[in-house]
Amino acid sequence: MELEAKRNHDPDLNDWASIAWTILCNLRDQSPLVQCITNYVSMDLMANTLLSAGASPAMIHSIEEIPDFTPHVRALCINVGTLSPNWLPAMKAAAELITKSGKPWVLDPVAAGASGFRLKACLELVGLKPNVIRGNASEIIALSKASLGVTKGVDSSHESIDAIDAAKSLAQASGAIVAVSGAVDIVTDGNRVVGAHNGVPMMQKITATGCAVTALIAAFVAVEPSNALEATASALSIFGIAGELGMDIAKGPASLRTHLIDSLHGLDQAAVFSRIKITLL
């Protein structure tokens, strides 16, 4: 079912469960090809997250392959987690090519405030017009202020709600939807701000859950490109719900990783409708 039809039926957009479920069903039906240029730590969890949601991941990052491959993908996810100088030209080439193809791309500015090299690279990538930027609070604050900030490497030293103003100004300056993950996931277009309240704290204890949810956002935006804010909030909540269901049976981070992937794969309408919590902030 088209989301536009749903929006007409439900113009105040309060029916987030219906929106998220519709996008997930479309994703499962369409199985969009999502190119990921990502860090070495996240490749496995990211690919498995995309597969369990119903998308088709491809971790293809060599600059020689981008002209042939990138025009055929439905969305691109760029993540600077283990950035080195020779990767940056491929990231930029892919971002430019996908934008030229009229398809969306999503940026994960991992540890943006940790070094001058990384911050400059992230700012250059923001200049190539990502449709969505998803980071933790410290990353979004560093990017928004364009300054090296208090950061604990790839982890956040801020709460997501402390980054609302930074997220809004980054969204206004870049034209991207900006998402800040955390206890409450914040999503803004620079004007509207919504909070996605799903997830469990143990998700922070699994490396690359942030990277994985950024890729899931890319898959959601692939099937719903004209409603990127709705797609982004929906992806964050769906991933959070999978974490909640996984936590019901997990014994710790390692088993949560497994059960989160299983839960995402098996997620049904009843779970989405009973658990989703997205509110206007």
Ligand X SMILES: Nc1ncnc2c1ncn2[C@@H]1O[C@H](COP(=O)(O)OP(=O)(O)O)[C@@H](O)[C@H]1O
**109: contact with ligand X by CB under 6 A:** no
- CA–CA gap between residue 237 and residue 213 (Å, rounded): 10
83 touches which of Mg ion, ligand X, ligand TZP, none (CB within 5 to 8 A by kind)?
none
- CA–CA gap between residue 18 and residue 37 (Å, rounded): 31
Nearest distance in Å: CB 11, Mg ion: 35
Nearer to Mg ion, 97 or 143 (CB): 143
**48: contact with ligand TZP by CB under 6 A:** no
**49: contact with ligand TZP by CB under 6 A:** no
Residues 94-123 that bind Mg ion (CB under 5 A): 110
Nearer to ligand TZP, 156 or 237 (CB): 156
- CA–CA gap between residue 7 and residue 38 (Å, rounded): 34
**39: contact with ligand TZP by CB under 6 A:** yes
**236: contact with ligand TZP by CB under 6 A:** no
Residues 53-92 that bind ligand TZP (CB under 6 A): 81-82
Residues 181-220 that bind ligand X (CB under 6 A): 181-183, 185, 199-201, 203-204, 209-210, 213
| Residue in 2, 29, 124, 155 binding ligand X, rule: CB under 6 A | 155
**154: contact with ligand TZP by CB under 6 A:** yes
**157: contact with ligand TZP by CB under 6 A:** no
Nearest distance in Å: CB 137, ligand TZP: 12
- CA–CA gap between residue 241 and residue 281 (Å, rounded): 20
Nearest distance in Å: CB 136, Mg ion: 6
42 touches which of ligand TZP, ligand X, Mg ion, none (CB within 5 to 8 A by kind)?
ligand TZP
Binding mask 240-259 for ligand X (x = CB under 6 A): x-------------------
3-state secondary structure the chain: CCHHHHHHHCCCCCCHHHHHHHHHHHHHHHCCEEEEECCCCCHHHHHHHHHHHCCEEECCCCCCCHHHHHHHCCEEEEECCCCCHHHHHHHHHHHHHHHHCCCCEEEECCCCCCCHHHHHHHHHHHCCCCCEEEEEHHHHHHHHHCCCCCCECCECCCCHHHHHHHHHHHHHHHCCEEEEECCCEEEECCCCEEEECCCCHHHHHCCCHHHHHHHHHHHHHHHCHHHHHHHHHHHHHHHHHHHHHHHCCCCCHHHHHHHHHHHHHHCCHHHHHHHCCEEEC
Nearer to ligand TZP, 3 or 242 (CB): 242
Give me the residues that bind ligand X (CB under 6 A), please. Answer: 136, 155-156, 181-183, 185, 199-201, 203-204, 209-210, 213, 236, 239-240
Give me the residues that bind ligand TZP (CB under 6 A), please. Answer: 39, 41-42, 81-82, 110, 154, 207-211
